[in-house]
Structure 1
Amino acid sequence: MRSRGVFLSAALLSLTVLAALTAPGCSSDEPKPPENPPENPPPPPPALDITNPVLSGDYPDPSILRVEDTYWATATSSEWAPHFPLLRSTDLLHWELVGPVFESEPTWSEGNYWAPELATDNGRYFIFYTAKKKGGPLCVAVATASQVSGPYTDRGPLVCQALGSIDGALIRDENNVLYLVWKEDGNSQGLPTPLWAQPLSEEGTQLIGEKKQILLNDTPWEGQVVEGPYLLRRNGWFYLFYAGAGCCGRACNYGVGVARSKTLLSGWEKHPLNPIVKNNASWKCPGHGSVVTDPLGRDYLLYHAYSTTDSVYVGRQGVLDAIQWGEDEWPSINSRRGTGGKVLATPPAFFDDFTATALVPGWQWPKSRAPSTALTGGVLTLAPPTAQAADPIGATLARSTNTGTYTAEAILEVGDLSAETSAGLAASGDPENGLGIALQAGKVALWIRKGNTHAVDASTSREAPVANGKLHLRMTARSGHLYRFAVSGDGASWTDVGGELNGDFLPPWDRGVRVALTGGGGAGAAARFDSLRITPE
């Protein structure tokens, strides 16, 4: 048997333990501190080593979306077809052009193909885009697909306000309701430019309910414009990245702003340090982009800017910057020093010998003026559409440039040219503005088209140095707008044609200059080319 003293000691021990457990500040339910406290979490990995532009050439209003481990992007095509380039990347830095969203313009529209916004929701893919309705205003429309690579089916306009509706974006609110956010284009009439939000059907193809204004251009730096909205949710906040001031042309003063709110429809505050991206020595007029998060959790803004070296002649190029989030939960980019990263020293060259069975992606033509093209045996046959057959440049097939200083060389097959056919190499702004060199009836001469008035400079006319049925044409550009032309029979010995031409009138307000192969001059006119090479300096 146990002694009475043993029982008494056990009882006293139990009371002591109970007292300790029920003393103030103690609880039997509290977790015990870990024996080995965890180390501090590792810092986020450093941002990518970026060299800008990542989208070299004319890629305004870029939009980006990550699907698993692949990034997809698109951009404004404006009046060049096919519409809305579709690009793919695995690292955010190197991009492959895989084709267009639309081979031809949607039947309801007639121009202004701007600001496509890639979006996904519940396994569906959307491109919200801007276009001008036939005989009507600018509209925000939508196309849908079951996979991000397409094909995309156009669903037509969502909203077409009298002043114009542009720059659509998709977001779900704090109650999980799907919304379209867009800009009313009041600045086109000297009026304010509200950003509106309105519920969408769950299919994302029809507006429902009432619209509500969520933002307005009301601070000095924004001027007459806030536009290009992109929305995301982070840590209980909605963030709205937007562009302000003037987007385009030599007098542009664009910048990137950001606002935030706890709810979608009210309570928006603008960052007191806006614009968070502005001009610097290498890039000017930055704006209109979208945000993507990589698999490591790092956020990046893809947007456009003009190179200060090449200005408007190349167009607005796609640039990338990492986003830093402060302790105050506001984003910043490159410490407000403008577009960051290294600057691309030499853009990539381009060469096409037409040995593929179809045109490689990236060739463009003026909207509603698709030329006839055929590739046979390494030769491109280029012919104008019937309505433009008499036009010496009725067939225009073009490539975007990626620097203002380059050399373009084309090889023209001369043997089958009819006497009325004009065939050549040009710098093209649009169908009404260009300059170039053309062969017709055995002679080459320079031409200028300005304001749709086409004039051949007869003083530059000379016999073409054809050799083995071929004529080499060369165009040399410097400073984006100064052009010289030369011809050769063998591609080695060159003869200058005329003097330097000033093409500062070429770029439209929203586009860069293209290198173009041209043909036309009469019914049945067709030009045949062996190759085009564009070599940046």
Structure 2
Amino acid sequence: MKKYILYLFSIIMFATSCNSGSAIDPEPEPEPEEKVSPPRNEDFVGPTYSDNYTSVASWAARDQWNLANVHDPTITKSGDYYYMYQTDASYGNAHDGHGHFPYRRSKDLVNWEFMGMAFETVPAWVKDSLNNKRAQMIPSLPPIENPDYGFWAPCIRKVGNKYRFYYSIVVTNPIVGSSTETSWTERAFIGLAESDDLASNVWEDKGMVICSEPDGLETYTRSSSNDWSGYFQFNAIDPSFIVTPEGEHWLIYGSWHSGIAAVQLDPETGKPYQLETLEDYGVRIAGRGDVSTNRWQALEAPEIIYNEETGYYYLFLAYDELSVAYNTRVARSENITGPYYGINGGNITDGDECWPMLTHPYKFSGSNGWVGISHCCIFQDAETDQWYFSSQGRLPEGVPGINASNAVMMGQVRAIEWTEDGWPVVMPERYAAVPQLALTDDAIWGTYELINMKYEYQTQQTSTTFKLNSDGSVGGTMSGQWSLNASTGILTIGNLEFIVRDGYNWESSPRKATIVLSGLNAQGQAMWGKKIY
């Protein structure tokens, strides 16, 4: 009887424990299934051309280039087309012997048709001006009969009914002797050509605008190959042109040797009013380091715009060497000649380091990534008011299977957006004309790659992953809560703000539309992200 009572008691207790949910070896409660974002732009078909264009890099295959073989682009619109002009540069020097300043056109900023060269020959005035300057410098210097030229970084703008094309031609011969180890090379010249119709490719050359001019503080000789103290006041390359709201015309130019200069131009001629004294060559508006003594500044390629919405002039600058380390900075001012300030209040005109940094060598997963991303062109679509950033990108050094991979130069166009406090940010993926759909919370849920663009010389920044959950929480390498302002397209993650747009995942296979985001961290460094699933 006792055994029966104990057995009955055990059955009752087992039943009770089952009913109370504390059974032996219970099955774990299933985690709630994370919501999945609905498909977005799933039928969009974007560019499919390879970033490794070496198989079509030759001159004979130029009709297949699209944006292959682009360096230092400048872009303007004429009629239905955007026209892009550039430095003489191509993989394997495919352009050699075919003229100067390659150009192409596009109706959509995505598909580009190579058109040929803007100039057939070297403008005659360059050699004449060079030898006249040599005679003034040192009367005993003989003329250079066959100069060695570089054709660099043009700038095109529409002025009235004409297109003004400012171009840079650099003479690379030593000034004295025959070695660049012991002599500085000859000066750079900025010239001007005009056209009534870009489709015609007919240019009227207007001659010299400005040149590198000695300021008497340094000699023409170099003490060694490590002597980088240039002999000129400003280096006359990399022109950028702007007409102010008041109707003044200005040329912004210069690089490396003594900083960036601004010189006012005669609107009728497109040239300085006079070039009689050093002051006529302009005033310094940006430098890097002590601009009074540092004549090797590691900055170049000024590009200037005026944004009517913010009331500021924005001066974009290329920092460091161009093959790998190139990165883009920007400063702003209420006045064309400065002072220009960075996002942290630094005075760039006085030589403070410029922040924010908008581009930097980077690498999303599944790709070789890009380096050398700077010397930008900034332009606005007059119909949509959308701003764009265009530059070259180079493949990194040593990519397996590609000879001289760092010489592969692909033209890149990206959208620019503006933060609420009036600073530009560059979108992380190249422009592909992806339709912009209404933003909603459920479009944002998912897993993202994020690149925090720390400034590191000649180093590609790589990505980490984070997750935006449907309950507003954040996981992975970011934490906190997220929220979306659908009307402004601002995504807040913790204390960081990102601008969100529909973009194109160039690194996925196959490529597809996705959500992209761009912002600035507290140090003024770019933060780029894209949704991967």
Give TM-score, length-normalised by structure 1.
0.49
Q: Determine which structure has more spread, i.e. the larger CA radius of gyration.
A: 1
- Per residue, is there more strand in 1 or in 2? 1
Give TM-score, length-normalised by structure 2.
0.50
- Per residue, is there more helix in 1 or in 2? 2
